[in-house]
Structure 1
Amino acid sequence: MKKVVTFGEIMMRLSPPLNYRLTQISSLEITYGGGDANVAASLVRLGMPAAHAGCFPDNELGQAAAQSFQRLGVDMSHCVFKGDRLGLYFLEVGASLRASRIVYDRYNSAFANLQPEWFNWDEILKDASYLHWTGITPAISATAAQATAEAIQAARRLGITVSADVNYRRNLWQYGQRAQDVMPPLVAGCDMVVCTEGDAEDLFGIKAEPGAENSFVAMSEQLVQRFPQIKRIIATRRNTQSASHERIRGIAYIDGTFHETEDFDINPVVDRIGGGDSFISGFIYGSQKYSTVAEALTFATAASALKHTIHGDINLVTAAEVEHIMAGNTSGRLLR
């Protein structure tokens, strides 16, 4: 398999142990994650090579963040170490009726201050099959948006598949440019996107036709009409019972056909951060391994479901473990 290249910010995650509140604790657990890089790390665990491009501060915190992914097998050789600050986020894991909460502290990070010319995309994308990015990356700064655009342009020129999780985060767009202006030209260069009806309306002004039986299909038809390069649109449906109990299913619109999986019931939820990243990494891997969309989509959804049982941002599961769940082995019985 050829490698997948991801591009985006990696942050330090600080969390109280168990389900404690931030106001209760005197110590925090440290892990690292980022929407794009989580995809790379999850793919490596599944058995697919991956590399990540990003920018870290030139200090011990930057080295620690990069090395946490390097230890998992992600190629970090295309990362740049310049600047002073690593972005942080604080996660308070909820339980039952109390929702989880995130507090960001990422302003003026090294990644936000990157310069596009630091990245030689022809070299970074050499021997790659995919470029993957998320809508978080161009939301961070104008220079990050420009670097994303240059990466997509290089991938198109080199004949590399481009995928994106459009992942609209309204509060991140603070540098004077509108997501509605920046994102459409970037998405126009994609072959596959993760996009919900809400994201499509917020970013592109696309609304499902009133009374449409399947709003996802109605949205997807309009998205493909506007962005003809897109061949695959995927997403998950969540049925949240509580902070500790989720039901998810995978959905897809591919070549004019709608696909969906059965529900996966997750109870209790250990950590839902990275569930979407696990879904897209599972679909990229599943599309390479399986001959049908149904199998690839089921693999992706099972991978995402498993991620909800693992602490941290990254889906530390193997392909065999995902296939075990696909086969209906969901009892959680001890394996010897």
Structure 2
Amino acid sequence: MTEVLTLGESMVAVRTDASLRLGGTAHLSIAGSESNVAIGLARLGHDVAWMGAVGDDEPGQLVRRTLRAEGVDTRFIRTAPESFTGFIAFDQPTHDITRVSYHRRGAAGSTLTADESVAAVTAASPTLLHLTGITPALSGTARDAVLKAARTAHMRGTPVSLDVNYRARLWPRSEAATTLRELLPFVHTVFASRDELDLLTEASPPAAALLAHGVTEIVVTAGAEGAWLHTADDKLHQPALPVGVVNSVGAGDAFVAGYLSAVLDDQQYDARLARAAVAGAFCVGAHGDWEALPTRADLELFAHGQGTALR
């Protein structure tokens, strides 16, 4: 049984420790919000499938191979021979700043269609469908794919989670707001940073407005300040764990994976936030979008305290 189905774009990631323009040694991997979440959930022992399109090229094979190696179900990946697999570059112009550049216009990830997203939801019959605000920004067909997937899942009684994940380089805020608000009637759980809430509603306070709109759980993240969970009956705060930050890229996806894992384990709200915070802490402590994501056994490591030597 598929516990989680997610869909979106996964790209090849090139990472350097200095300014990219200087050349030199680079690390090759993959990246993508939805595939990061899929890997995070798989490492935590869940059955998760990722749907997307890759080019008929070696980068596309790298995406497939990495996801398979991480235990993610890849049966819904389509090869788009007329397109290429996009890539993303991370470099460090200074020691503690990461610069991100995308090379994805016209890439395979933007060719997702509504028909294949509906077919995947129907075939996988997941316990939960996870979406982000990145995919509908890629193209008109990708937007339709996300909307139809959400509508289909909702009609089947499948909870839908949405990570806003706004990317200004992909679309203006006004366009993002229009599309994301179309999704809201089908969404059970929302993940958003403070500065993304106005994309979902103009009302104030936004969390109360979203709950009145029918969303059941709103998780608002605030970096080092932690996260807040709003429900109809409660408001909970989860402090961020006091760990050194090496790289924040992918931390939001790790947080989401931890939270959804606890949902699937039928944990209470405070335990969901706690697992999410631990997963996020693992991610910020190392380079890479997903490489440092924890396994289920790893979740207990922070209980030992920083600087502990396990012998």
TM-score normalised over the length of structure 1:
0.85
Gaps of 5+ in 1: 209-217, 240-247
Distance 2:296 2:231 in 1: 24
| 2:307 corresponds to | 332
Q: State the match for 1:213 in structure 2.
A: none
Tell me whether 150-159 or 248-257 shows the greater mean CA deviation: 248-257
Q: Aligned ranges for residues 224-243 of structure 1 at < 5 Å?
A: 224-225=211-212, 227-228=213-214, 230-239=215-224
Contact 2:91/2:98 (<8 A) preserved: yes
Contact 2:39–2:67 (CA<8 Å) still a contact in 1? yes
Letter in structure 1 aligned against 2:89: F
Unpaired stretches in structure 2, ≥5 consecutive residues: none
In the alignment, the residues of structure 2 paired with residue 127 and residue 112 of structure 1 have an alpha-carbon distance, to the nearest angstrom, of 24
- Within the candidate set 204, 209, 226, 2:201 is matched to 204
Aligned to 2:233: 256
Counterparts in 2 of 1:189 and 1:233: CA distance versus 1, 3 Å:
same
Amino acid at match of 2:197: A
Structure 2: distance between partners of 1:293 and 1:118:
34
Distance 1:332 1:238, change over 3 A: same
Which of 288, 293, 299 aligns to 1:322? It is 299
Normalising by structure 2, we get a TM-score of 0.92
Alignment correspondent of 1:306: 282
| Match runs of 1:44-193 below 5 Å | 44-82=42-80, 83-93=82-92, 98-121=96-119, 124-173=122-171, 178-193=175-190
Count of residues in Structure 1 that have an aligned counterpart in Structure 2: 309
For 2:156 and 2:6, locate their aligned partners in 1 and report how far apart those are by CA, in whole Å.
Answer: 16
8 Å Cα contact 1:122/1:154 also seen in 2: no
- Contact 2:51/2:77, CA 8 A, preserved across alignment: yes
Residues in 1 aligned to 2:93 and 2:130: alpha-carbon distance in whole angstroms: 30
Q: Distance in 1 between matches of 2:113 and 2:8?
A: 13
- What is the letter of the counterpart of residue 259 of structure 1? L
1:30-86, Cα deviation, whole Å (9 max, x unpaired): 110110111111001001110000011122221221211111000010111013211
Cα distance in 1 for residues equivalent to 2:122 and 2:68? 16
On the 8 A contact 1:89/1:102 being kept in 2, the answer is yes
Query: Partner letter of residue 232 of structure 2?
Result: D
Q: Please tell me whether the aligned partners of residues 194 and 221 of structure 2 are also in contact (alpha carbons under 8 angstroms).
A: no
Distance 2:267 2:117 in 1: 35
Tell me which protein shows more helix as a share of its residues: 2
Distance 1:178 1:67 in 2: 35
Q: CA RMSD in A?
A: 2.2
Partner residue in 1 for 2:7: 7
Deviations 1:102-133 (A, max 9, x none): 11111110121333333443665534101001
The sequence identity of aligned pairs, in percent, is 27
Once the two structures are superposed, what CA deviation does each residue of 1:252-284 show, in whole Å capped at 9, x if it has no partner? 1122311012331221x2332111011111011
Superimposed CA distance per residue, residues 273-329 of structure 1 (whole angstroms, 9 cap, x where no aligned partner): 11101111101111233542111111111110111123321143112212332xx32
Equivalent-residue separation in structure 2 for 1:249 and 1:93 (angstroms): 25
Does the 8 Å contact 1:5/1:125 carry over to 2?
Answer: no
TM superposition shift of 1:332: 3.4
Matched ranges for 1:29-40 at <5 A: 29-40=27-38
Tell me the equivalent position of 1:244: none
Counterpart Cα distance in 1 of 2:297 and 2:94 = 30
Bigger shift: residues 84-93 or 129-138: 84-93
CA distance in 2, matches of 1:287, 1:295: 9
Q: Are the structure 2 counterparts of residues 322 and 202 from structure 1 closer, same or farther at C-alpha, using a change threshold of 3 Å?
A: same
Equivalent residues of 1:271, 1:310 under 8 A apart: yes
2:273 to 275, 297, 311: 297
Q: Which residue of structure 1 lines up, in the alignment, with residue 264 of structure 2?
A: 288
Partners of 1:199 and 1:117 lie apart in 2 by 29
Q: Which of 209, 220, 232 lines up with 1:222 in the alignment?
A: 209
Q: Could you give the per-residue CA deviations for residues 159-192 of structure 1, whole angstroms, max 9, x where no partner exists?
A: 1110010111122027xx9212211111221000
Q: What residue identity is the alignment partner of 1:296?
A: R
Report which stretch shifted further, 311-320 or 51-60: 311-320
1:119–1:286 CA distance, 2 compared to 1 (3 A): closer
Partner SS, residue 124 of structure 2: coil
Mapped to 2, the partners of 1:75 and 1:301 lie a distance apart of: 26
